[in-house]
């Protein structure tokens, strides 16, 4: 529990800061990655997962960077599954998913995946992700994940004005076609280029209006208290749901249940933390489980009440999203 009475149930572990995409809102093309020896090993990640569960964590989300680039992703999933009974989820850009790898991860203990997709138009997708993948690759990855039972599968999209802000309804249409949940996340000042500015930001309210102009929505009213997303069903009864995650226009910090571990072993109580807790040094210094527990409890206690993006004193953290783990 933190000093504001929030109970921490979700641990997001970035297993790598590397990525094969360079999304405009996340990573600059010339981003520099951490040295390999700086990254936590599989054994270190599994140990932290075990200790976190003993302190009350119930869900672990593997993220990055792009987690599917990790050479030992299967070992990490298997290790966490053997050491804990937490729910294991993963967020991925889906460019490298195959039925075979998904089946292996599922058999090893992965429960579900969330997939990011920001455009359905090939040229735009290329411009936004600065990758050689296509929307078709991502949708094929999503279909493979569903076929392997990694469900419920969710899709995440970030709208940036001037890039893809006219695609809200098209992206929401994916929910209807595939019976999945499509969630729109407001663009946050966490890009490695520090180029975020309000003129590129699209509010959840504007996104919802754009979706509703084509597909009227009804509130589901079943959002969990700690959920980041406000969820809606289609008024015409079509399958799938649409969610709006509004960290900038309506922060949900009061109900936050998350703690983050960066790929290089720093604990960040908040996405926007400016202070990090160096767990890797302790792991490599022979600390006992009890000392690691105390360290995690202390770090959690410092979780700030809110991110304060709207405040004039707000300063973007040095670490971009890709190095924190979104």
CB nearer ligand SF4, residue 27 or residue 80: 27
- Residue 311: exposure state from Cβ atoms within 10 A (0-12, 13-18, ≥19): exposed
Peptide bond into 293 cis (omega under 30): no
Order of all β-strands in the sheet with 87-92: 217-219, 229-234, 241-245, 181-185, 154-158, 112-116, 87-92, 59-64, 10-16, 258-261, 266-268, 277-278
Q: Nearest approach, Cβ of 280 to ligand SAM (angstroms)?
A: 20
Interface ranges with ligand SAM (CB under 6 A): 19, 25-26, 63-64, 66, 91-93, 116, 156, 158, 185, 187-188, 190-191, 321-322, 326
124 binds ligand SF4 (CB under 6 A): no
Closest CA to 24 of 245, 204, 193: 193
Which of the stretches 19-27, 159-167, 222-230, 287-295 binds ligand SF4 when contact is defined by CB under 6 A?
19-27
Contact 69, 27 (CB under 8 A): no
CB nearer ligand SF4, residue 27 or residue 86: 27
Q: Nearest approach, Cβ of 16 to ligand SAM (angstroms)?
A: 9
Tokens standing for 9?
């149930």
CB nearer ligand SAM, residue 240 or residue 326: 326
Using CB distances below 5 to 8 A depending on partner kind, what does residue 156 bind out of ligand SAM, ligand SF4, none? ligand SAM
Closest CA to 244 of 214, 219, 271, 216: 219
Residue indicated by tokens 């890039």: 163
Q: Nearest approach, Cβ of 20 to ligand SF4 (angstroms)?
A: 7
CB nearer ligand SAM, residue 96 or residue 169: 96
137 binds ligand SF4 (CB under 6 A): no
- Percent of the chain that is helix, strand, coil (3-state, to 5): 35, 20, 50
Half-sphere exposure of 126 (CA within 13 A, CB side): 4
CB nearer ligand SF4, residue 65 or residue 317: 65
CB nearer ligand SF4, residue 184 or residue 215: 184
Using CB distances below 5 to 8 A depending on partner kind, what does residue 22 bind out of ligand SAM, ligand SF4, none? ligand SF4
26 binds ligand SF4 (CB under 6 A): yes
Closest CA to 302 of 280, 262, 270: 270
22 binds ligand SF4 (CB under 6 A): yes
CB nearer ligand SAM, residue 19 or residue 217: 19
Select the residue interacting with ligand SF4 from 8, 13, 27, 76 (CB under 6 A).
27
Q: Which residues contact 66 (CB under 8 A, 6 or more apart)?
A: 16, 18, 19, 20, 21, 92, 93, 95, 96
In angstroms, the CA 174 to CA 255 distance is 29
161 binds ligand SF4 (CB under 6 A): no
Residues 67-106, mask of contacts with ligand SF4 (x by CB under 6 A)? --------------------------x-------------
Using CB distances below 5 to 8 A depending on partner kind, what does residue 171 bind out of ligand SF4, ligand SAM, none? none
In angstroms, the CA 202 to CA 247 distance is 12
CB nearer ligand SF4, residue 110 or residue 117: 117
Q: Nearest approach, Cβ of 240 to ligand SF4 (angstroms)?
A: 23
Residue indicated by tokens 């302190």: 55
Which residues of this protein are in contact with ligand SF4, per CB under 6 A? Answer: 19, 21-23, 26-27, 64-66, 93, 116, 322
């Amino acid at each position: 529990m933190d000093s504001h009475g929030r109970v921490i149930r979700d641990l997001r572990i970035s297993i790598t800061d590397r990525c094969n995409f360079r999304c405009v809102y996340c990573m600059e093309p010339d981003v520099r990655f951490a040295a390999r020896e700086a990254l936590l090993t599989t054994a270190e990640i599994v140990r932290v997962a075990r200790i976190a569960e003993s302190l009350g964590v119930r869900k672990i989300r593997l993220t990055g960077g792009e987690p599917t680039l990790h050479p030992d992703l299967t070992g990490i999933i298997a290790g966490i599954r053997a050491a804990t009974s937490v729910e294991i989820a993963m967020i991925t850009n889906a460019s490298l998913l195959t039925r075979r790898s998904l089946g292996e991860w599922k058999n090893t203990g992965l429960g579900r995946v969330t997939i990011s997709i920001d455009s359905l138009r090939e040229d735009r997708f290329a411009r936004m992700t600065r990758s050689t993948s296509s929307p078709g690759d991502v949708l094929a990855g999503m279909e493979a994940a569903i076929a392997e039972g990694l469900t419920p599968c969710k899709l995440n999209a970030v709208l940036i004005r001037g890039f893809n802000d006219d695609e809200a309804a098209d992206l929401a249409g994916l929910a209807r076609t595939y019976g999945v949940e499509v969630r729109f996340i407001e663009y946050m000042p966490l890009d490695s280029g520090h180029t975020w500015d309000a003129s590129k930001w699209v509010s959840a309210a504007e996104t919802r209006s754009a979706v509703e102009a084509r597909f009227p929505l009804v509130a589901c009213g079943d959002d969990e208290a700690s959920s980041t997303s406000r969820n809606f069903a289609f008024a015409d009864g079509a399958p799938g749901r649409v969610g709006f995650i509004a960290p900038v226009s309506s922060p949900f910090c009061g109900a936050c249940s998350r703690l983050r571990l960066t790929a290089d072993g720093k604990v960040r109580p908040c996405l926007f933390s400016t202070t990090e807790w160096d767990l890797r040094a302790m792991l490599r210094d022979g600390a006992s489980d009890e000392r690691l527990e105390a360290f995690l409890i202390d770090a959690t206690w410092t979780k700030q009440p809110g991110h304060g993006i709207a405040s004039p004193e707000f300063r973007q953290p040095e670490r971009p999203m890709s190095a924190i783990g979104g």
